Structure 1
């Protein structure tokens, strides 16, 4: 039985070590920014709550409150 590549152990001295997993920086939005959401489509940021903790977005007449870290939201 063979092991899959994802379960293999990496030696510390190996030149092929995987880089440590780093979280991508959280995107900062401002009122008026055009955005695209994976589920809701295109929209415009109406307001930013707190220190970028959430954004209120208008998606063609339907408003949605998107919470940080905004994984499904992209700035256009």
Structure 2
């Protein structure tokens, strides 16, 4: 259950919504402050990952993403 709550917060779900979702799905109620305190455990690993040295790792792949919007010209 804790991992699911953490994942919801990582994906951008507000702590208040996590509280409602867990109560509806599991019948368990967690206050938004409890959810926030549980998710503080993620701060260390997330900051570590954000601040990792990218020059030390070589990556054999480059990922490119883009969107092209085409609008026809009507005369």
TM over 0.5: no
* Structure holding more helix per residue: 2
Q: Which has the larger radius of gyration?
A: 2
Q: Which protein has the bigger strand share? A: 1
The TM-score with structure 1 as length reference comes to 0.21
